[in-house]
């Protein structure tokens, strides 16, 4: 299992938890003997996964209502998405399966892979706590989270900001990239959003678009235009 731990970037203190996470129920069913399987860890891991991503989305989109955040989370934790994460870890080749499940292609079955991925998260939670499990989840989901932050499918911070401001005046907000830093392969862009001579907020991101979206999100949170109106 060492190579899987290398892929995860995590070393289990209790290797039995890893073995349990990788044991499919078909193994005990075929042997007709008492044997642990990953179903209980799958149940636990699902809850940990949901909490880690819910917490992250809650902080990432401070002005989004419940509905859009729920849809974004569902997009991240769909069975297909979890199966893809499992495939990227080559989780299938480490699974302990019954002969029938093996013969029927269980190592590549999406539902089996998704269940094993959730069980793995649950095992890490039991092995070293929530923080370790959350950090692993956010690391594995980093690319998908970046995609959402740049273009939330069910939330459009730039559009929402423009709609609010143009209800006050016809002028639309504008965005300006103020600086960029870091090496070419890890650029960080800094953006400002401006409206009627006001700097509404700033944001930063791995692309110009992400920096602008972050600035819009921050502007929606701060609502600087309300203070300007009052004065």
Rounded Cα–Cα distance for residues 229 and 231 (Å): 5
pLDDT at 34: 60
User: pLDDT of 194-211, one tens digit each?
Assistant: 999 899 999 888 888 888
Class of 157-230 in CATH: alpha beta
In the structure, what pLDDT confidence band is assigned to residue 69 with cuts at 50, 70 and 90?
confident
Residue 118 a catalytic site member: yes
Q: How confident is the model at residue 50 (pLDDT cuts 50, 70, 90)?
A: very high
Q: What is the average per-residue pLDDT within 127-156?
A: 82
For residue 231, pLDDT beyond 60: no
Adjacency order of strands within the sheet including 198-205: 174-181, 188-195, 198-205
* Catalytic residue selected from 42, 46, 127, 218: 46
pTM above 0.75, yes or no: no
2-150, which class in CATH? Answer: mainly alpha
Q: Are 116 and 96 in contact (CB under 8 A)?
A: no
Query: Considering 101, 118, 212, 218, which one is annotated as catalytic?
Result: 118
Spell out the domain ranges in the chain.
2-150, 157-230
């Amino acid at each position: 299992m060492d190579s899987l731990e290398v892929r995860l970037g995590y070393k289990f203190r209790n290797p039995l938890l890893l073995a349990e996470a990788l044991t499919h129920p078909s193994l005990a069913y075929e042997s007709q003997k008492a044997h642990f399987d990953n179903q209980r860890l799958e149940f636990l891991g699902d809850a940990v996964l949901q909490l880690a991503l819910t917490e992250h989305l809650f902080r990432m989109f401070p002005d989004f209502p419940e509905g859009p955040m729920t849809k974004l989370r569902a997009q991240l934790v769909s069975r297909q998405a979890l199966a893809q994460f499992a495939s990227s870890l080559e989780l299938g080749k480490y699974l302990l399966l019954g002969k029938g499940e093996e013969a029927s292609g269980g190592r590549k079955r999406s539902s089996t892979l998704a269940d094993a991925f959730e069980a793995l998260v649950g095992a890490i939670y039991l092995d070293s706590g929530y923080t370790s499990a959350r950090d692993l989840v956010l690391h594995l989901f980093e690319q998908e989270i970046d995609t959402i932050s740049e273009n939330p499918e069910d939330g459009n911070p730039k559009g929402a900001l423009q709609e609010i401001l143009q209800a006050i005046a016809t002028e639309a907000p504008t965005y300006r990239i103020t600086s960029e830093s870091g090496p070419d392969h890890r650029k960080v862009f800094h953006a400002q959003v401006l409206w009627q001579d006001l700097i509404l907020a700033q944001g930063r991101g791995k692309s110009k678009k992400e920096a602008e979206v972050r600035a819009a999100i921050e502007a929606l949170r701060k609502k600087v235009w309300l203070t300007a109106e009052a004065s």
